[in-house]
Amino acid sequence: MGVKVLGDPNNAKHCSSDIIISNLNNAAKKIGIYDDNGYNIVYDCIGNSHGHNPDAFIVVYELIFPAFILNQVYPKPMFGVSRDNVEFMKQGGYPDNLCNLAHLGVDTNVWQFREKQKIQGKFRLLGIGESNTRGGLELVVRNFCEEFANSNSVELYLRDRNAAPIFKQWVQQQANIHNVTIIHDDRHLENFEEEKDIFYSADAAICLNKSSTWNLRTIESMSTGTPLIVIPYAGPRDYSIDNESAIHVQYDLSDIDLNVLNSLQQIGLKNYLFNPQMHPQIPVWSMPNNDSVKEKMREVVENSDLRNKVSIGGAEYVKQFTWEKSVEKLYDTMLSYQDRE
């Protein structure tokens, strides 16, 4: 008996869930453990089964687990995609013996390393995120604008996706107020070559997702040799080493409150999952320290030695996070659950 990973049948092509599910199933086929009639494992952010009858779930919610997720998934085995993810499952009340870890991965044959060749022109900082589902891009924009106000040597390229018009307007307003260049790319790309070119054209990248899990774009950024600034929390804490494979910003775990959510929604950011009124246990954000963000932005722009070190170190470090290892862990764990029974 092998494994098969399932998800929402309505997933858009090349959305993160579609990419993850495809990569896991392709890896299972590659190593000979894919089975249409084997263990069915559903990948979903909050534990929806999408009409399947799964044997287990991969749940990628990184906040303190709210009760509705546990109620939807119990009593199925649940896999987290980071050490913090698994600990939150346990803190939320899920049985220890049903919690396990299954890192996701990167295909380094697709996301290939390319040495950075700085040419004349503006330094391009790539902002990674999704304003329609995760918080963090507004912090990238605010800190960039404040740190590089009136600068004509640095530009911010936002790799957003399906941004709300009001958020795009807000970003442009901030750029105008601070006299900086911001390129806001919110296309939904279905071509890896275009996506890779965005990484290759960037001198460095930053991701401040406050509630993210294993962010595909960050580990792909590292694989392409794009130096990365990131919050060392949840997924990034597992696959990055400060000043070796990535650059870390300081952060605090902060409670989410309605005032914060309302202020974000007013500029077009959506955070459907994080309303504290939905959860008996109030979730938290990993809130980056603004001074630290500005300091690291400035450092990555001005310190070419650090950029080169992190570029090479990040690409080398992520080679250990393969899709084959991930699906093999899923398979071995499901066998162990069967043995227990």
Q: Which residues contact 77 (CB under 8 A, 6 or more apart)?
A: 55, 56, 57, 98, 99, 100, 333, 334, 337
User: What is the average pLDDT value for the chain, to the nearest integer?
Assistant: 90
Nearest to 129 by CA among 227, 64, 212, 59: 212
| Cα angle 256-262-264, degrees, rounded to a multiple of 5 | 85
pLDDT over 90 for what percent of the chain? Answer: 64
Give the per-residue pLDDT at 91.
Answer: 82
Q: Average pLDDT of 28-38?
A: 96
Domain limits at 45? 3-105+322-340
* 32: CATH: 3.40.50
Radius of gyration in angstroms for the set of CA atoms belonging to the chain, rounded to a whole number: 20
Q: Which two tokens stand for residue 155?
A: 């530009």
Residue 240 pLDDT level (bands cut at 50, 70, 90): very high
How far is it between the farthest Cα atoms of the chain? 65
Residue 300's CATH number: 3.40.50.2000
Same domain, 47 and 180: no
Cα dihedral 31, 35, 36, 37 in deg (nearest 10): -170
The answer, yes or no, to whether residue 68 has pLDDT greater than 80, is: no
- Give the pLDDT score at 333: 94
Contact at 8 Å (CB) between 281 and 92? yes
In this structure, what token pair is assigned to residue 167? 């958020």
Asked if residue 111 belongs to a domain, the reply is: no
pLDDT at 279: 61
pLDDT tens for 86-136 read 888 888 888 999 999 988 999 999 999 999 876 668 999 999 988 887 678
Would you say residue 284 has pLDDT above 80? no
Instruction: Please indicate, yes or no, whether residues 175 and 259 belong to a single structural domain of this protein.
Output: yes
CA–CA separation, 47 and 260 (whole Å)? 25
Do 138 and 55 belong together in one domain? no
